[in-house]
Amino acid sequence: MFRFRFAKFASLASFGLMLAPLPALAAPDAETAFIFNSLSFLVHGFIVMLMAAGFCMLEVGLVRSKNATVQSTKNIGLYSIAGLMYWLCGYNLMYMDVSGYIGTLMPWSPADASITEAGYTGDGTDYAASSDWFFQMVFVAAAASIVSGAVAERVKLTTFLVFSGILTGIIYPIQGSWTWGGGWLSEMGFSDFAGSTIVHSVGGWAALTGAIIIGARKGKYTADGGIRPMPGSNLPLATIGTFVLWFGWFGFNGGSQLAMGSAADVAAIANIFVNTNIAAAAGVVVAIFATQILYGKIDLTMALNGALGGLVAITAEPLAPTPLLAAFIGGVGALLVVITVPLLDKFRIDDVVGAIPVHLVAGIWGTLAVCISGGASFGVQLTGIIAIGVFVSVTSAVVWYVLKAIMGLRPSEEDEVSGLDLSECGLESYPDFTRQS
């Protein structure tokens, strides 16, 4: 009886305490800031991880069903390879003791200097080492997946996976060391908040060299200069993939604030979310208008590309612009995509999903657009774009050619025509559609 009454009294008292005015909190203490910074990397990081699924859905939806299995395998394969390569050599090549042009070639392992037996001894501006590795790793994976869409339906699976390993373990980290690793470009003042150049155009250049060197799909371009479209097999899947990528971009751009330990940081992240969304939305609407005007019909696949083009464009500076400027940047990105897609066909460069217009062209635009919000000088941005462009193109081309000599880039013509799923994987994606068991 007494115990019951006491419990009632205790709970009433604590309820009263809750209602009493709390003392005004000062800025979070150092350890709290450390926690929030790390949390930002972890949460934004796993949101970006889902972009691997988004890319997979988008690409599978835009290839023909006879290649859906291989496309899926490429996506889960490259995400995993990226995760391993970035641990084995990539991260430290990008961040450890960067000399100006390159980091240190050795495997990464976590080391949290500010967490000792005495507790947290840092000043609140740092974060858990593994949270940073994780966040950077999902970015590398995004860069690699850009290539898989462009060269789809006619590249050998194993060759592509090897290329992904080299891109994620060596090429990407080296150019990343020039910028985010603290190297020569960052010292010049090159500004790329979340990676329009560092991630997206890198994937775009690798994709461009691949598409050119590997060549077009058999039958895509006819001898008399004609173009034979090869429509995607699952546009709803491609649409859902785009939505998933859009979702992932909140982690991509939001987490690139690199801190969440203060009100200012969180407000910045909030602004970033808003600008990111507006840029993507403007991209879709511009693509809808543009295709309606150009072709008399709204092209869903271009609308999807438009969203992504807008997202890539805002990625270089998602914080500083006003919403109106963000819409402008995203809209122009989408317009560039709509123009570039048929242009690539004119040059007989077969990009199955529009990865080159979306990631390379919009990525360049986004990097230059940083100058509009005053965050960088045009000359420095251009220097970075060209330097990274040349570096990635040349190294990628070398790798493609070496792989061509060692392993071959393309399956045989009959295998390509009958579908890579059977020849590369011995598996069909939709066996029930033609054969009932």
Partner 1 sequence: MMKYIIAIVQPGRMEDIQRALSEIGISGMTVSEVQGYGRQKGKTEIYRGAEYTIDFMPKIKVELAVEGKLATKVTDAIKDVCNTGRIGDGKIFTLDLSEAMRIRTGEVGQAAL
Contact between residue 101 and residue 187 where contact means Cβ atoms under 8 Å apart: no
Cα separation, 385 vs 274, whole angstroms: 26
Cα separation, 410 vs 244, whole angstroms: 30
Residue span binding partner 1 (CB under 8 A) among the ranges 103-111, 165-173, 222-230, 309-317: 222-230
Length of the chain: 437
Cα separation, 57 vs 241, whole angstroms: 5
User: Mask: binding to partner 1, 148-177, rule CB under 8 A, as x and -?
Assistant: ------------------------------
Please report how close the Cβ of residue 53 comes to partner 1 at its closest, in angstroms. Answer: 24
342 versus 408: smaller Cβ distance to partner 1: 342
What are residue 344's phi and psi, to 5 degrees?
A: -60, -40
Q: What share of the chain is helix, strand, coil (3-state, %, to 5)?
A: 70, 0, 30
Residue 67's nearest CA partner among 435, 436, 348, 425 is 425
380 binds partner 1 (CB under 8 A): no
Please report how close the Cβ of residue 341 comes to partner 1 at its closest, in angstroms. Answer: 5
User: Binding partner 1 by CB under 8 A: which of 137, 208, 341, 355?
Assistant: 341
401 binds partner 1 (CB under 8 A): no
Cα separation, 84 vs 79, whole angstroms: 9
186 versus 340: smaller Cβ distance to partner 1: 340
229 binds partner 1 (CB under 8 A): yes
Please tell me the count of residues contacting partner 1 according to CB under 8 A.
Answer: 15
Contact between residue 59 and residue 149 where contact means Cβ atoms under 8 Å apart: yes
300 versus 397: smaller Cβ distance to partner 1: 300
Please report how close the Cβ of residue 303 comes to partner 1 at its closest, in angstroms. Answer: 11
Q: Residues 237, 240, 289, 364: is their CA dihedral positive or negative?
A: negative
51 versus 287: smaller Cβ distance to partner 1: 287
User: Binding partner 1 by CB under 8 A: which of 14, 19, 225, 228?
Assistant: 228
345 versus 415: smaller Cβ distance to partner 1: 345
- What radius of gyration do the chain's Cα atoms show? 24
227 binds partner 1 (CB under 8 A): yes
31 binds partner 1 (CB under 8 A): no
Please report how close the Cβ of residue 343 comes to partner 1 at its closest, in angstroms. Answer: 9
Please report how close the Cβ of residue 386 comes to partner 1 at its closest, in angstroms. Answer: 28
User: Mask: binding to partner 1, 175-214, rule CB under 8 A, as x and -?
Assistant: ----------------------------------------
Q: Where are the alpha helices (DSSP H) in 296-422?
A: 300-314, 323-346, 355, 362-369, 378-406, 413-418, 420
CB-side neighbour CA atoms (13 Å) of 56 = 16
User: Mask: binding to partner 1, 278-317, rule CB under 8 A, as x and -?
Assistant: ----------------xxxx-x-xx---------------
Single-letter amino acid code for the residue at 9? F
204 versus 306: smaller Cβ distance to partner 1: 306
354 versus 363: smaller Cβ distance to partner 1: 354
Please report how close the Cβ of residue 213 comes to partner 1 at its closest, in angstroms. Answer: 22
DSSP secondary structure letter of residue 221: B
185: part of which helix (H) or strand (E)? helix 184-188
Residue span binding partner 1 (CB under 8 A) among the ranges 110-118, 225-233, 310-318, 417-425: 225-233
Cα separation, 68 vs 431, whole angstroms: 12
* Cα–Cα distance list, 238 to 60, 73, 207 (Å): 7, 16, 19
Extract the tokens encoding 130: 């593994």
User: Binding partner 1 by CB under 8 A: which of 345, 372, 380, 415?
Assistant: 345
Cα separation, 329 vs 326, whole angstroms: 5
Return residues touching partner 1 (CB under 8 A).
227-229, 231, 294-297, 299, 301-302, 341-342, 345, 354
